[in-house]
Structure 1
Amino acid sequence: MPSALPTPTAAWTVGDVTVLRIDETLLPPSTGPWLLPDATAEVVTGQDWLRPHFADREGILHIDSHSFAFTVGGLRVLVDTGIGNGKERANPAWHDLNTDYLQRLTTAGFPPESVDLVILTHLHADHVGWNTREADGEWVPTFPHARYVTSRTEREFWAGYDMEEARKQMFRDSVTPIEQAGLLDLVDVPTEGAEIAPGLRLLPTPGHTPGHVAVELTSQGETALITGDCIHHPVQLAHPAIGACVDIDPQQSEASRRELLAALADTDVLVLGTHFAPPSAGRVTTQGDAYRLLPVPAT
């Protein structure tokens, strides 16, 4: 995998909106076989278009943790908050990180106190970690002036779920503090999606989790879509049946992925992958009876 995170901040233009990728960390080579066990080396090397950006010659997947930030309709928006620093996690790749994520966010022009809206595609540890930061031995909201948004279905599912200790810990340090601060806003997301601000919609893509959403941004007739974990890696375009080991409902996850890809295929929609390694963005095109990603480099 690449040895260093790219600088400066990667950016794409959607109408009059500039979307920035805020890098947190590259995930280790062991992530692919664990997360997408059906994406074997044989499957991956069979798609030469995945190289060099998304996989290496041995079939090892490149996978990232990052957020996307942009300003739309006067709102300063952050989509997903990564793994976070100093969090107690069962996954060794996520445990007790110490990255310069907040400095990267600030350097990109989004200091934490300036963020108005944090969209959480779902409530998994690697998407909510920077919801909070440690201050005087307590976990406090990183974005104190922001409205944190996730789907009502998502939060209600986990409220009734028999959590293992690791997940309970994640909720204690990264979800409960923002709820107690009155910052978490639960949104009903119908089949047609929910507009949460002008040009900004949540689209239901259930399966990975019951309330998972993708994020659609529209400006001046141009559209971008942030995948969340409906699509973890571009190999799933070539093989939509490949799911993640942590999908709550694998069949529903595949159905959501297929429906989304069919809607995106051969359009001008810019797809921004929440875990896609650089360049992290592209357009979906038909390839045989499935799809591939045509990378769109950042500026």
Structure 2
Amino acid sequence: MPDLTPHRHALRLSRPAGIRSIRLGDTKVSYVPDGDVRLRPRQLLRDSTDEVWAAHPEYLDAAGHLVGSVGGLLVEHGDRALLIDAGFGPQAHEAPEGAVAAIHGGALPRGLAELGRRPEDVEAVAFTHLHSDHLGWACHPAPGGDRLVFAHADHLIAEPEWDRRDLLEAQGMAEQVAALAPCVRTITDGQEVFPGVRVRFTPGHTVGHAEYVITGGGRRLIAFGDAVHSPIQIDHPDWSSDFDHDRVRTAGHRHRLVAELAEPDTIGFGVHFADVVFGHVRHDGNGPAWRPVDA
């Protein structure tokens, strides 16, 4: 019987992810979808070529857009819960040009409910960085109300990221900064922010971009935020995103990250990685280096 795994993998690269969970010992980690994003591949990854995309149509939808997921990562340990990033929120955006063709959110509260959690159960929201597709529900009220969904929770933001919030205000995001401010607690490089969860600063995508390393059960998971936008970059780590603040710095970090994700008992979480958000790296010459992990 032929091995259908590569075919099933290819199908997953052109659809956004639903809820997916894995266990790291006593810790449960779940992707909570909020929506999806459609990206123009050559505008997003300017070092890529038409020839590469023609050879890999499995990453693209019928309109030729790169398909990405938008959501957050729920980390549960006992009765405690941490959310890493908060999706895009109840809004939608389309653009006739630029890297983002369309993005929409709104599903994250429903996903939490399906996982048996209310927003009130989340004790803190930790952010990889302060772009709008990660701030999402931290800046929007609950459906049918006027209170912010996570107003009760600490908002954990890398100290250098929050120190340069003026960059966001200059981009017209003063309202979002003001919404976050009452709940912000800045965090430092290497700090444990939740049982088994440590932050590490990886500036480049933004001035204070952060990753979160979650350990348990003899494994570790690296939630690498926007250090990588698409699994195709695992095979082409020199390709930086058009959104990267420092393209050279992110490329250097991406090379190190790809090597780290190939180490034993190491899983990656790519929040924008279509329906392959959890995976590991295998350089064996047998297809893409990013291989989905589902348990």
Quote the offset at 1:219 in angstroms: 1.0
Structure 1 position 224 matched with structure 2 position 221? yes
One-letter code aligned to 1:63? G
Tell me the matched-pair count: 278
Structure 1 position 292 matched with structure 2 position 289? yes
* Alpha-carbon contact 1:123-1:154 (below 8 Å) kept: yes
Structure 1 position 155 matched with structure 2 position 157? no
2:185 alignment partner in structure 1: 185
1:272 alignment partner in structure 2: 269
Structure 1 position 176 matched with structure 2 position 185? no
Please give the alpha-carbon distance, in whole angstroms, between the structure 1 residues aligned to 2:70 and 2:259: 26
Please give the alpha-carbon distance, in whole angstroms, between the structure 2 residues aligned to 1:31 and 1:138: 35
User: Map of 1:83-94 to 2, 5 A cutoff?
Assistant: 83-86=88-91, 93-94=102-103
| DSSP 3-state at the match of 1:242 | coil
Quote the offset at 1:251 in angstroms: 1.0
Structure 1 position 27 matched with structure 2 position 45? no
Quote the offset at 1:105 in angstroms: 1.7
Q: Which structure 2 segments of 5+ residues have no match?
A: 1-10
Structure 1 position 61 matched with structure 2 position 61? no
Q: Which structure 1 segments of 5+ residues have no match?
A: none
User: Map of 1:184-263 to 2, 5 A cutoff?
Assistant: 184-189=184-189, 193-263=190-260
Are residues 188 and 239 of structure 1, via their aligned partners in 2, closer, same or farther at CA, if it must alter by over 3 Å?
same
Q: Deviations over 1:149-191 (max 9, x none)?
A: 01010111233x3854xx32x341x332131xx31111121xx
TM-score of the superposed pair, with normalisation by structure 2:
0.82
Quote the offset at 1:282 in angstroms: 0.9
TM-score of the superposed pair, with normalisation by structure 1:
0.81
Are residues 235 and 213 of structure 1, via their aligned partners in 2, closer, same or farther at CA, if it must alter by over 3 Å?
same
Q: Deviations over 1:210-258 (max 9, x none)?
A: 1101111011221111110011111111111101111111111111111
Q: 6, 13, 17: which is aligned to 2:23?
A: 13
* Alpha-carbon contact 2:169-2:177 (below 8 Å) kept: no
Are residues 218 and 63 of structure 1, via their aligned partners in 2, closer, same or farther at CA, if it must alter by over 3 Å?
same
Task: Quote the RMSD (CA, aligned, Å).
Answer: 3.1
Please give the alpha-carbon distance, in whole angstroms, between the structure 1 residues aligned to 2:184 and 2:82: 15
| DSSP 3-state at the match of 1:13 | strand
2:7 alignment partner in structure 1: none
Quote the offset at 1:74 in angstroms: 4.7
My pick for the range that moved more, 57-66 or 134-143, is 134-143
Please give the alpha-carbon distance, in whole angstroms, between the structure 2 residues aligned to 1:137 and 1:56: 34
Please give the alpha-carbon distance, in whole angstroms, between the structure 2 residues aligned to 1:240 and 1:6: 23
The share of aligned pairs that are identical, in percent, is 29
Are residues 293 and 36 of structure 1, via their aligned partners in 2, closer, same or farther at CA, if it must alter by over 3 Å?
same
My pick for the range that moved more, 106-115 or 210-219, is 106-115
Q: 100, 108, 115: which is aligned to 1:101?
A: 108
